[in-house]
Amino acid sequence: MNLLVTVIFENGFQEIYLPGVNNRTSPIDIRPHISGWKEDITLPLEVWDNVWTMSGSRQFVITVNERPVDKVELKPHLLLNCQLSGSEDIFAVTIDEADAGNTQFDKFLLDFGACPWVKIGSGEDSIVRYGNQFCSPKHAEIVNENGAVVRDLQSVNGTFVNGRLLTGDHRLRYGDVVYISGLKIVYLGNILAINNPKACRMVDDLKFKPIHIEASGESDADSGYEAEEVYFLRTPRKLETLDGETFTIEKCPPKNEQKQQPIFMTIGPSFTMMIPMAIGAILYHDDPNGHRRDDDGRRGQRHERDYYVGRRRCSGRDVGAAQHPLPEKRGNGG
């Protein structure tokens, strides 16, 4: 059984078709442009063993028959009154069983020449007659005033357009949805698409001509047309049951372990750079006697160096004399 949840505010409403899921939580958010309040309203819905329930929250308290409840099971023909915490604002939640008539639409030609106005209500003189207890005998009408205009006829439960309560005349634009207690009328220019919830809707065919669009007998395979993938941005109403077959997942392959490199392979290249440096230092260093070796290893000539002995500067050739200086002669006066 598929359930249809309708959330009704003072100036707006929203319909929610509960998806065909099981054993999970499925909260629903109501946006401020629908509720007319400052923040989102979240309905804590959940389903366990194919039984849907709704709980109260910090935002609102649920009352059933004027008695507050923490949780309630959702069943058809159930009416819930919800009051905001710390406020006197309330909204209603109705539960109904969804049927094919809620989502299947019939199309009718909107010809103001043949029908100057389209009356909607539960009365017998209505062009679109809707036998619902919440629909007034003269509920609303669509007239031609330089274009299609919809207005409410002081009905008891009001008329909604695109989820908002209709407070005056509204000029219809392509795609606008007129809502009256489950009845939906979609404006498509010179065509009106109307659903038939619970087969309670009747239309005067003499003034409101139905449009029948016959499907082409040519198949896609014969026409050579390749069908494209189509994606619908909405919650699915029915989900197929998942298969319960058990299968085994193969283990992951072992991780490739990297072998640790020996330490001599790590520091060996560094030593290979040091060997030519050490050889060069040995070949080109100066010996203690002031000699150096050329590239071929032969002894070079003695370097001439200047040495300071005391205050006297001596060259390398006089190093022996500098190391053993002769005593200076003193004068008679010294």
Reported as type and span, the H/E element at residue 275 is helix 263-284
What is the per-residue pLDDT for 223?
Answer: 56
Q: What's the mean pLDDT in 63-72?
A: 91
Rounded Cα distance between 208 and 114, Å, is: 8
Q: What's the mean pLDDT in 180-198?
A: 93
What is the per-residue pLDDT for 284?
Answer: 67
Strands 128-130 and 117-121: parallel
Architecture of the 3-98 domain: Sandwich (2.60)
Q: Do domains 3-98 and 101-211 have the same CATH topology?
A: yes
- Reading the block at residue 134, the tokens are 């919440």
Beta bridge pairs of residue 63: 68, 81
Report pLDDT digits (tens) over 125-170: 999 999 998 899 999 999 999 899 999 999 999 999 999 999 999 9
Beta bridge pairs of residue 71: 55
Report pLDDT digits (tens) over 98-107: 888 988 999 9
Domain ranges of the chain: 3-98, 101-211
What is the per-residue pLDDT for 272?
Answer: 74
Is pLDDT above 80 for 1?
no
Of 253 and 305, the one with more pLDDT: 253
Which phi and psi angles does 222 have, rounded to 5°? -75, -35
Closest CA relative to residue 94, chosen from 113, 114, 76, 109: 76
What is the per-residue pLDDT for 166?
Answer: 94
pTM for the full predicted model: 0.61
Is pLDDT above 90 for 184?
yes
Q: What's the mean pLDDT in 21-40?
A: 91
Of 289 and 108, the one with more pLDDT: 108
Unique residue bearing structure tokens 């004068």? 331
Mean pLDDT of the chain: 80
Task: Check: CB of residue 130 under 8 Å from CB of residue 140.
Answer: no
CB atoms under 10 Å from CB of 254, counted, come to 6
Report pLDDT digits (tens) over 268-287: 777 777 777 888 777 766 55
Rounded Cα distance between 104 and 96, Å, is: 17
At the top level of CATH, the class of 101-211 is mainly beta
Q: How confident is the model at residue 86 (pLDDT cuts 50, 70, 90)?
A: confident
- Give the three-state DSSP class for 39: coil
Strand order in the sheet with 128-130: 170-171, 148-152, 140-144, 117-121, 128-130, 201-203
Among the ranges 191-200, 233-242, 276-285, which has the highest mean pLDDT value?
A: 191-200
Rounded Cα distance between 43 and 9, Å, is: 14
Task: Check: CB of residue 28 under 8 Å from CB of residue 45.
Answer: yes
Percentage of the chain beyond pLDDT 70 is 72
Q: How confident is the model at residue 313 (pLDDT cuts 50, 70, 90)?
A: low
What is the per-residue pLDDT for 260?
Answer: 67
- Reading the block at residue 21, the tokens are 């899921």
Q: How confident is the model at residue 288 (pLDDT cuts 50, 70, 90)?
A: low
Q: What's the mean pLDDT in 233-244?
A: 63
Is pLDDT above 80 for 334?
no
- From residue 51, alpha-carbon distances to 4, 20, 98, 157, 267 in Å are 14, 11, 16, 30, 72
What is the per-residue pLDDT for 327?
Answer: 53
Q: How confident is the model at residue 225 (pLDDT cuts 50, 70, 90)?
A: low
Task: Give the angle 228-234-236 at the CA atoms, nearest 5°.
Answer: 90
What is the per-residue pLDDT for 297?
Answer: 47
Percentage of the chain beyond pLDDT 90 is 47
